[in-house]
Amino acid sequence: MCGRFAITLPDDAMARLFAAAPANDLPEVPNYNVCPTNRVHSVIAQEDARRLVAMRWGFVPHWAKTLDDGPLLINARAETVAEKPAFRTAARERRCLIPASGFYEWTKDADGRRLPWYITARDGAPLAFAGIWQLWEGDDGRPVTTCAIITTDANPDLAHIHHRMPVVVAPEDRALWLGEAGKGAARLMHPAPEGVLQAWRVDPAVNSNRASGQALTRPI
């Protein structure tokens, strides 16, 4: 799964990287501890143009009565995203890219304590997670754009840490994922190639969703 990540790029750098026009209400950066239900940056393609927008991390199906109606859907499995009623329309029609500088996963020691790892691209480049999104409108009529990160089996670099990982979309595949380059996005939902990612242990301080600061990503 993917339950926490970091984003450190300034908004203008993200906009240039993804050739997207930035919205005016983007989340504050840097954020070294992005948690579920936080607002996140997301790249979408609409009307032949890319936009960098804010979304709530936690996909809310259109039939939900409230934002908290049902389980918190922060991830969607690549193997079933095209079949699950909550996700299947979004998988066909509403795909997005979620920028990240890195993400966290956990192992456990012999005493059951959670040991966090920070995972980044080996070359230091920003990551782009495959995502899906949904515009949800509550009873009060106020729309909220929500999203989920698609996950797949872990590659050999990460399998010793966790059996799942986010789908990382390579730069040359981003137009296809966003629907700008025709059909075939389903073939992108696979693990990142071996050697692309690296991981190191970080301080257990990140176990708290209230923790913040660059020190959360430093190796220990």
* Residues identified as active-site: 2, 105
Residues facing residue 72 across a β-bridge? none
24 SS3 class: coil
Distance CA 140, CA 6 (A): 32
What stretch of H or E contains 176? helix 174-177
Bridge-based pairing of strands 49-57 and 39-46 is antiparallel
The answer to whether 88 touches 74, Cβ cutoff 8 Å, is no
The answer to whether 22 touches 123, Cβ cutoff 8 Å, is no
Residue 143, preceding bond cis, omega within 30 degrees?
Answer: no
- Cβ-in-10-Å burial (0-12, 13-18, 19+) of 54 comes to middle
The answer to whether 44 touches 51, Cβ cutoff 8 Å, is yes
